[in-house]
Amino acid sequence: MVNRTQFYIDGAWVDPVVRKSHPVVNPATEEAMYDIALGSKTDVDNAVVAARRAFETFSQTSREDRVALLERIIAVYKTRMKDIAAAVSDEMGAPLPFAEKFQAGSGLTHISSTLKVLKTYHFEESIGSAMVVREPIGVIGMITPWNWPMNQIACKVAPAIAAGCTMILKPSEFTPSSVLILAEIFHEAGVPKGVFNLINGLGPEVGAAMSEHPGIDMISFTGSTRAGIDVAQRAAPTVKRISQELGGKSPNVILEDADLTKAVTSGVRQVFSNSGQSCNAPTRMIVPLSKMREVGEIAKGVAEKTKAGDPRAADTDIGPVVSSIQWNKIQGLIKKAIDEGAALVAGGVGLPEGINKGFYVRPTVFADVTNDMTIAREEVFGPVLVIIGYKDEAEAVRIANDTPYGLAGYVWAGTVDRARSVGRQLRAGSVNLNGVPNEWAAPFGGYKQSGNGREWGKFGLEEYLEVKSIAGFSAA
């Protein structure tokens, strides 16, 4: 039974200092399922004390100790995959098979990837007479979103453990249960007390207290650019390190010699996946003006075959978005796109046909969009694609880079060489060529207002390390 009324601090389940709760709503039914406890600044203070005390010893553990710990975590995690998937499906609406394979599966993959990195990572390097040592930075405050709960948490928690750091995690109040299960996994795996601490709470309360806390050495934040700015401002007086993965409005450049059907179909499906709730979704499809009509027809066909429905139904392609707040925001952006003159190819405002409750969004495609329209500038975070036309390759690149964001970019071309050429010109932290997915060991993060840190693989591990130079270490 998942413990939703307590927090996990210093290796034990503890009551909140102040009794306060928040309902968790099933987005498919709009019904409250249960309440979770909400934390306060005092709960954060208690967790910081536990984490700082634990850091004194955990930071001194050997590589072998931490390898063994991650191996135990992986073994227990595998036994709880279905539990995690069910929790994610119920709380943020992902179809159950998707939740198990991709939502729960991504967490396992990140922990396993970190384990592989840890086994061979060089924490020490000789430079002349100096020894350059990479040491754990200290106590990490982690603030994570609801759209990919296990993915975003595992790619922070696993490398922090590998580095020898201790941590305090505030997950989203919309998706608390999968993270509570993770705390149970860590407890069963024997994570030393105080190394991992979990407090559920709201951003303006727990998140703010963590950002401002002088006892926290670093904040790792994933979420909206607006919230990321607030975290950075609150953290500035304590000069703590900030690592952020923020919003996106990623371009998908389809060149005239690409396989149009394959490129468009893949791009539309990727936008609709997870109900559009992925920060790196290729939501701006940039295509030759001469092929706008053909692209629109292909995209319309994909949209009309994408079934929104019950996350537990076998024939469901996408579930609801996470909340009424998100649903209303998306509806407003769809309506504004129509008002601004974008051509509605598929979908539109309102619930999908045959659905009368739940936060479901119609899979929506707009054509003849210009890059100055609101729908092309703002992150929708729903199953909404815009198609923008270009005259030549130079204009395609200009449109792709004409955004305050820079998280991801996508290129489709008839040859890999041409795709590489355009890919190098995109101002984004990760670029995918001709449908090849991300490499789990390669860095993930953004340019510009999409953030300033890198996660995944050795790059994620290095986010949690300080660099010390000891001159004279090798002197005779």
CA distance 166 to 58: 8
Domain that holds residue 263: 251-440
> 257 with 363, same domain?
yes
Query: pLDDT band for position 476 (50/70/90)?
Result: low
Burial group, residue 133, by CB count within 10 angstroms (0-12, 13-18, 19+): middle
> 237 with 275, same domain?
no
Residue 344 confidence (pLDDT): 98
Residue 475 confidence (pLDDT): 62
> 459 with 365, same domain?
no
> 281 with 385, same domain?
yes
Q: pLDDT, tens digit, for every residue of 73-118? A: 999 999 999 999 999 999 999 999 999 999 999 999 999 999 999 9
> 191 with 161, same domain?
yes
Q: How many CA atoms lie within 13 A of 427 on its CB side?
A: 16
Q: What is the mean pLDDT of residues 163-177?
A: 98
Residue 275 confidence (pLDDT): 98
Q: What is the mean pLDDT of residues 444-450?
A: 97
Judge whether 384 lies within some domain: yes
Q: What is the mean pLDDT of residues 290-296?
A: 98
Annotation marks residue 455 as catalytic: no
> 56 with 201, same domain?
yes
Three-state DSSP at 116 gives helix
CATH code of 273's domain: 3.40.309.10
How far from 332 is each of 7, 66, 231, 368, CA to CA, in Å? 37, 48, 27, 19
Residue 162 confidence (pLDDT): 98
DSSP H/E element including 146: none
460: CB partners within 8 A, 6+ apart = 114, 155, 156, 158, 159, 443, 454
> 257 with 239, same domain?
no
Give the global pTM: 0.96
Residue 56 confidence (pLDDT): 98
Q: Which of 279, 379, 455, 463 is catalytic?
A: 279
> 258 with 362, same domain?
yes
User: Is 428 within 8 Å of 409 (Cβ atoms)?
Assistant: yes
Residue 2 confidence (pLDDT): 86
Q: pLDDT, tens digit, for every residue of 234-267? A: 999 999 999 999 999 999 999 999 999 999 999 9
Judge whether 446 lies within some domain: no
Judge whether 476 lies within some domain: no
Annotation marks residue 155 as catalytic: no
Judge whether 1 lies within some domain: no
Q: Torsion over CA of 114, 119, 125 and 126, rounded to 10 degrees?
A: -170
> For residue 156, is pLDDT > 70?
yes
CA distance 63 to 219: 24
> 384 with 330, same domain?
yes
Three-state DSSP at 405 gives strand
Q: Give CB contacts under 8 A, 24+ apart, made by 309-314.
A: 309/352, 309/355, 309/360, 310/28, 311/28, 311/89, 311/90, 311/93, 311/94, 311/95, 311/96, 311/99, 312/89, 312/95, 312/96, 313/95
CA distance 324 to 322: 7
> 270 with 230, same domain?
no
Average pLDDT, the chain: 97
CATH code of 193's domain: 3.40.605.10
Residue 11 confidence (pLDDT): 98
User: Is 245 within 8 Å of 453 (Cβ atoms)?
Assistant: yes
> For residue 469, is pLDDT > 60?
yes
Q: Which of 173, 205, 212, 245 is catalytic?
A: 245
Q: What is the mean pLDDT of residues 408-425?
A: 98
Judge whether 65 lies within some domain: yes
Judge whether 475 lies within some domain: no
Q: pLDDT, tens digit, for every residue of 371-415? A: 999 999 999 999 999 999 999 999 999 999 999 999 999 999 999
CA distance 411 to 416: 10
Tell me which residue of 298, 284, 269, 316 sits closest to 437, measured CA to CA: 269
- Between CA 41 and CA 49, with CA 45 as vertex, the angle to 5 degrees is 170
> 147 with 179, same domain?
yes
Residue 192, both tokens: 């030393």
> For residue 220, is pLDDT > 90?
yes
pLDDT higher at 475 or 199: 199
Judge whether 333 lies within some domain: yes
User: Is 28 within 8 Å of 319 (Cβ atoms)?
Assistant: yes
Judge whether 2 lies within some domain: no
Residue 104 confidence (pLDDT): 98
Residue ranges with strand state E in 195-340:
196-198, 218-222, 241-245, 251-254, 284-288
> 207 with 284, same domain?
no
Complete DSSP assignment for 328-396: HHHHHHHHHHHHTT-EEEE--SSPPTT--SSS----EEEEEE-TTSHHHHS---SSEEEEEEESSHHHH
Q: Count up the domains in the chain and report the number.
A: 2
